[in-house]
Amino acid sequence: MQTSKLEQCAVLKVPTVNDARGNLSFLNELDHVPFAIGRVYFLWGVPDDSVRGGHAHKNLQQFLIAASGALDVVLRDGVTEQTVRLDKPTEGLLIGSMVWRELENFSPNTVLLVIASAPYDESDYLRDFDDFVSATLAP
Ligand code: TYD
């Protein structure tokens, strides 16, 4: 039986060094981030009633970290859904390909750091949920 794409998503620790001067978190490619890094971008200044995402990626993998603040990430595989709250810079959410995601309930001043496996490519997006379900459930 095919594994659910949601089971391939995971909350992973971001290694962090704490001392009296403050905290330092770091990520090594192909280690703490389990893919080769093609791009980094960040969302900030997001109004609290804003919903972002609303798409899946055919191939892209992403690792999401709430570097500041908090948000909910709703993950859907076309059958079930799961909500992950990101609210600390010491953990990140790995999202594999072919997982629908919506980002919502941003707290004020949230900065969401996104590490992605490839540069931006609009042709990698599935932006229509019905198309996503058809693609993901196809044999
Ligand atoms: P969009 O996909 O709507 O953002 P979200 O992930 O919140 O759904 O992207 C918003 C705009 O930014 C859209 O015009 C595409 C552009 N964009 C880039 O140019 N480069 C990028 O790396 C990303 C993620 C988006």
pLDDT, position 7: 92
Distances in Å between the alpha carbon of 34 and those of 20, 58, 99, 108? 30, 18, 17, 30
Q: Which two tokens stand for residue 55?
A: 């798409």
| 71: helix, strand or coil | strand
Pocket of ligand 1 (CB under 6 A): 39, 41, 52-55, 120
Pick the residue whose CA is nearest to atom 23 on ligand 1.
Answer: 120
- Burial of 115 (C-beta count, 10 Å sphere; 0-12/13-18/19+): buried
* pLDDT attached to residue 52: 98
Pick from 120, 126, 127, 128 the residue to mutate for probing ligand 1's pocket: most ligand atoms within 8 Å of its CB. Answer: 120
55 catalytically annotated: yes
- When pLDDT is cut at 50, 70 and 90, the band that residue 137 belongs to is confident
The structure's pTM equals 0.96
pLDDT tens figures, 92-126? 999 999 999 999 999 999 999 999 999 999 999 99
C-alpha 24/C-alpha 98 separation (Å) is: 32
Helix runs in the chain, H state only: 129-137
- Quote the ligand 1 centre to 101 CA distance (angstroms): 14
d(CA 80, CA 123): 25
Ligand 1 atom nearest to CA at 119: 22
